[in-house]
Amino acid sequence: MSSTVQQPAIDAQAVLRRLGIEPVNSGVCWGEWIANPSGGELVSHSPGDGSELARVRMASEAEYDEVVAQAAKAFEKWRLFPAPRRGQIVREIGDELRACKDDLGALVTLEMGKILAEGLGEVQEMIDVADFSVGLSRQLYGLTMPSERPGHRMYELWHPLGIAGVITAFNFPVAVWSWNALIAMACGDTVLWKPSSMTPLTAIAVQHICNRVLDRHGWKGVCNLVIGSGSKVGERMLHDKRVPLVSCTGSTAVGIHVAEVVGERLGRTILELGGNNGIVAMDDANLELLVRAVLFAAVGTAGQRCTSTRRLLLQKGIAATVTDRLIHVYKQVPIGDPLDAGTLMGPLVSRSAVQDMMRGLERIREQGGEILYGGERVDLPGGCYVQPTIVRARHDMPIVREEIFAPILYVMEFDNLDQALEWHNEVPQGLSSAIFTTNVISAETFLSARGSDCGIANVNIGTSGAEIGGAFGGEKETGGGRESGSDSWKQYMRRQTVTVNMSNDLPLSQGIQFHI
């Protein structure tokens, strides 16, 4: 296993300059950047080597209110702008993202720590979502229903909702924004973005990109940015009745708080919260596919995806073989500078994330888990590097029910599919899942009502790497939200049922007679 950091070929400071990032930046924008916001200063460090990238001046509550007022003002006009023309503006944002893909992908890697291939892939995902949203702008369909009353027509209209609040996490600092923002824009909403305090520079770069497009068309206040503390800006957004929808990606604990506060004012929420994703591998599985899928899903992004594989349930006939193969390939994983093309696993996002992993491993040992491989810090600049870890575990260990946001894989042996399904579904989270089998009965059972209880279920594919065309999200403590594909656009709009009486009579529904 390699653990050396090579000199990156990418000039970080040049990347920052090309994306409009200054040594000190405003983190508040409604199309116009608010100079010197008064919410304090935030320093962005690269987990790759611990270096300071740039500083950001954050929003206070007063500046938050200024941005929301501008977003509300812009919504009054944006909602009346024809949806296909809104889609053309989203298309131009997609074109700007294509032009900036290399630099923005590199910035994702610099600020968050995922390897460069994944940073570039995240920007490609934004581009794909833009394309999806352009098509969607011509397909905001409503149903037509037959009326039971003669001379009447009944149908649905979908109208823009208002300001869509988007709270994103550090692990996908730009892609998750696009899932929400680009679709919301096509639907006629304006967008208010509060990014993670761990990744403010990527948000500023995206705001610059959006500003360039919107300025060409004379729009301000459609895409808005408020970087600030959760206790001030975040809480203000949750309580703000001017923001009818809050989409939040984060931990289950944070999501519960969001649901409580927004629900109390009868606002809407889209919640994409914790994942504790499992793969069930049957004796008849294709082992080459299985090992490759587990490696990517468990080690990719250093285990910091909400869809990362945390639990591997192996039928006893293949358990020893697969475990040995995984240990072998884990030993080959190159760990180091995420900008190095040869690196497969970069750092965790922060030193505190490393500490959380080490504390989790202590609890695993206390509960009887056996570390089969890894579990140690890796001594590299920045102090955020760890070994990916394989643990032999029991399904009933309390810690197996929790999500540790790190590259820890629990391996468990089961007897039959019924037992595997019971163990798979007993955790409180329900995001992504997979089964590896060549038996159609096993596959269909996993996909049936008594199978996986997750929002995403795959066959012979790992738990991570969801496509944007399918609605993304999960059940149980994952929050129940759905983002991006399918008909998730309906969450960003309000439904209106319309009945038109084209007759000269006034028949009542259900045959009610009411004569004067």
Task: Label the pairing between strands 475-476 and 52-57.
Answer: unpaired
Structure tokens at 451: 């199978």
Structure tokens at 31: 């199309």
Whether residue 384 lies in the annotated active site: no
**Candidates 187, 248, 306, 384; catalytic one:** 306
Structure tokens at 382: 């920045």
**Candidates 63, 125, 272, 403; catalytic one:** 272
Residue 150: count of CB within 10 angstroms of its CB: 10
Whether residue 426 lies in the annotated active site: no
Q: Let me know the angle formed at the C-alpha of 499 by 495 and 504, rounded to the nearest 5 degrees.
A: 165
Q: Do residues 492 and 187 make contact, with C-beta atoms less than 8 angstroms apart? A: yes
Give SS3 for 104: helix
Q: What are the angstrom distances between the C-alpha of 322 and each of 201, 286, 287, 314? A: 41, 11, 7, 8
Give SS3 for 370: strand
Give SS3 for 155: strand
Residue found by looking up tokens 């892939």 in the block: 121
Residue found by looking up tokens 């994703």 in the block: 277
Amino acid at 243: V
Return the closest-CA partner of residue 111 out of 346, 410, 395. 346
Question: What are the catalytic residues?
Answer: 272, 306
